[in-house]
């Protein structure tokens, strides 16, 4: 058996089965769908997961990533008293670092354009997303975690203004570069203003939101590895691009306000969205992998259209 500090590569299927025979014998002979990152990613990202029969297994192969897995287990235990459906840890193992929970019902949220354009779907899902975030951002949640001894870092966006200037700007033509400089300067100005602090899921996108077969009910929220404490607007950063129009975001923000009694700053949501969208497009370009809705120039142009539609320019 590997030690938590000694892993230098992700486990293969035979090794994972051997570990399961020690910690969860009933799952050891189940079908395994093993998913892990490349070995040469930064230490913090050396974690992966496997679907094993009726279970989800989270694992890590670096000391830094092992903290993500084990801290997530503590966090899920503390969040278990909320009305929001989150994974319930059934095995937490520090050596090797593992978190195991039962699969939750539902499928990930990413929609086709047809479904996302359905006003009933947008209204129902948007309202639920706003309510879920209002519950997660409630001041008592952060207090609960602090009392449990859980100290959360600030959020880590996909990019920063300086990184975009240094690495993305040179990849754009001169006209787009001028637009990008104005855009990034606006983001810096918006985010320089102070904000309140709340518990953040940190990675609140469609793949981590489970919905019913008819796409009308949010059944649960998963994957809390990126949880943080910071600006509540950060958790809405994916929503502007999750549907073909901004209606989903608008419904979610209105629902959030009603459920929490607090309003979100739309400009801050879009400032975080800029760093998220361009940071993802830049990373994909640098790694030589597919830029979704790309290439980079097209992603940049689509972002400008989105910002103009939102009145954020």
User: Tell me: the pLDDT tens digits for 146-182?
Assistant: 998 999 999 999 999 999 999 999 999 999 999 999 9
Q: What angle do CA 123, 211, 36 make, to 5 degrees?
A: 130
pLDDT at 129: 97
CB atoms under 10 Å from CB of 83, counted, come to 7
**Nearest CA to 272 among 203, 224, 206?**
203
Is 15's pLDDT higher than 60? yes
Q: Which of 110-119, 172-181, 282-291 has the lowest average pLDDT?
A: 110-119
**Under 8 Å between Cβ of 56 and 49:** yes
pLDDT at 167: 97
Q: What is the CA radius of gyration of the chain?
A: 20
**Under 8 Å between Cβ of 202 and 229:** no
Tokens of 26: 């009933």
* Residues 130-142, mean pLDDT to the nearest whole number: 96
**Under 8 Å between Cβ of 274 and 303:** yes
More confident residue, 61 or 236: 236
Is 79's pLDDT higher than 50? yes
pLDDT at 113: 61
Gap between the Cα atoms of 256 and 57, Å rounded: 32
Gap between the Cα atoms of 298 and 313, Å rounded: 18
* Residues 259-265, mean pLDDT to the nearest whole number: 96
**Nearest CA to 5 among 82, 95, 85, 72?**
95
Using N-to-C axis directions, what is the helix angle for 63-79 and 139-147, rounded to 10°? Answer: 120
**Under 8 Å between Cβ of 22 and 81:** no
pLDDT at 267: 97
Using the structure block, give the residue that is written with the tokens 């000391």.
63
Is 5's pLDDT higher than 60? no
**Dihedral, CA atoms, 277, 281, 286, 292, nearest 10 degrees?**
140
Is 290's pLDDT higher than 50? yes
Tens of pLDDT along 225-235? 899 999 999 99
């Amino acid at each position: 058996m590997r030690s938590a500090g000694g892993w230098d590569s992700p486990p293969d299927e035979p090794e994972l089965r051997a570990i399961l025979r020690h910690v969860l014998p009933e799952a050891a002979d189940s079908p395994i769908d093993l998913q892990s990152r490349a070995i040469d990613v930064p230490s913090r990202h050396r974690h992966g997961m496997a679907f094993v029969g009726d279970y989800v297994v989270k694992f890590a192969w670096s000391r830094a990533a092992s903290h993500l897995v084990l801290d997530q287990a503590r966090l899920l235990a503390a969040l278990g008293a909320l009305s929001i459906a989150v994974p319930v840890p059934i095995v937490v193992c520090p050596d090797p670092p593992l978190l195991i929970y039962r699969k939750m019902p539902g499928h990930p949220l990413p929609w086709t354009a047809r479904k996302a354009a359905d006003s009933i779907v947008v209204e129902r899902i948007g309202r639920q997303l706003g309510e879920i975030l209002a519950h997660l951002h409630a001041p008592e949640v952060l207090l609960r975690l602090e009392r449990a001894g859980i100290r959360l870092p600030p959020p880590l966006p996909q990019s920063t203004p300086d990184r975009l200037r240094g690495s993305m700007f040179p990849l754009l033509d001169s006209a787009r570069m001028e637009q990008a400089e104005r855009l990034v300067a606006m983001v810096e100005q918006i985010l320089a203003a102070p904000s309140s602090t709340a518990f953040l899921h940190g990675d609140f996108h469609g793949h981590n939101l489970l919905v019913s077969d008819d796409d009308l009910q949010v059944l649960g929220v998963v994957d809390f590895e990126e949880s943080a404490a910071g600006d509540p607007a950060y958790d809405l950063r994916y929503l502007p691009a999750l549907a073909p129009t901004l209606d989903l975001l608008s419904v979610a923000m209105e629902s959030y306000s009603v459920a929490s009694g607090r309003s979100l700053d739309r400009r801050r949501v879009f400032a975080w969205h800029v760093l998220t969208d361009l940071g993802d497009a830049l990373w994909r370009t640098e790694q030589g992998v597919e830029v979704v809705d790309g290439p980079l120039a097209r992603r940049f142009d689509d972002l400008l259209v989105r910002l103009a539609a939102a009145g954020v320019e």
